[in-house]
Amino acid sequence: MGTRLVALLTAAMFSWIGLPAEAQTLGQVFKRVSASVVVVRTREQEVAARGQGQTVNISGVGSGVLISADGKVMTAAHLVHTADEISAEFLDGEIVGARVIASEPEADVSLLQLERMPPRAVVAKLGDSDRVDVGDQVFIVGAPYGIGHTLSAGHISARHKPNTVYSGFSLAEFLQTGAAINQGNSGGPMFSMAGEVIGIVSHIISKSGGFEGLGFVVTSNMARRLLLERKSFWTGMEGYVLTGDLAKVFNLPQPVGLLVQRVAERSQAALIGLRPGTMKATIDGRMLTVGGDIILAVQGIPIEDQSSYERIQERLSRLHPGVEVTITVLREGGQVELRGPLP
């Protein structure tokens, strides 16, 4: 009787607490999440290397991940921020048009909205990157060199706070990984072994041009905060900061300005009337697209340093859609004020 009672109590206890789920292999997790990954293809116009005003069509390829049932896709800003046309190709070959609805180039993350939701699309779960530790196994799914839904596995090598790795992405919190990253992986998801998205692939550091074990992925929590939890805007403009001797070369009336390089079609920057550069020039060893507007101030806040960028973002985030925004630019030697509604 006593032995039978112990057995019953033991069975009841395990049914209450639940037995741990059997761990899935890497292959099993990959099969479960692969359909949430898309190949992102872009087209944009770029000023030709020779000839003022001449442009050429540039095609781009990268990756992204579907994160919501209403068709939102996370990807890398450097892939889509100035694109004129964007499409997302799913695992079954279906291609859907997309547009940028939020973008943060300083963190290299953007959010796309699909024109329609494919009926067999799989939505990935956005995980908590703060729970990731150095040494954890991870894997990346993307389209290296356009070869879709390719897996590469590795581990978390390090965690980096914003503005400690690459000044071009000063807002990005990075996870460093040894999982292989190549051209075409940009914007793709990095998954935990639980099948949750814990990062968006950004860039590599390489002397050879190929992968050398130094890959950097924007954390999912940073992407969530910048694209989903706060008001983020898509300007569709690429700029280059002019400071020091470069500011003097361009005869700026202030120490710092933002030289407009590209403007995407139908973007907010295009609607407000910002003019992109019209010809290539090498100045102080830098290849720049010159001849376009130089932004001096936004909403009366002068372009000075990183803090001014943050003040502008904070000011705009408090405005309601449709409110008029003023941008002061240097154009053909004179200052011009451009006005347009906030999206």
Which residues form the catalytic set? Answer: 78, 108, 186
Q: In sequence order, what are the residues at sequence separation of 6 or more whose Cβ sits closer than 8 angstroms to the Cβ of residue 24?
A: 32, 193, 195
The residue type found at 272 is I
| C-alpha to C-alpha distances, 251 to 113, 254, 262, 303, nearest whole angstrom | 40, 9, 21, 15
The residue type found at 238 is E
DSSP annotation string for 261-306: EEE-TTSHHHHHTPPPP-EEEEETTEEEEESS-EEEEETTEE--SH
Buried b (16+ CB within 10 A) or exposed e, 136-152: eebbbbbbbeeebbbbb
In eight-state DSSP terms, residue 221 is H
CB atoms near residue 264 (< 10 Å): 26
Please name which of 270, 271, 287 lies closest in space to residue 279, comparing C-alpha atoms: 287
CB atoms near residue 199 (< 10 Å): 31
Q: How far is CA 13 from the centre of its chain?
A: 47
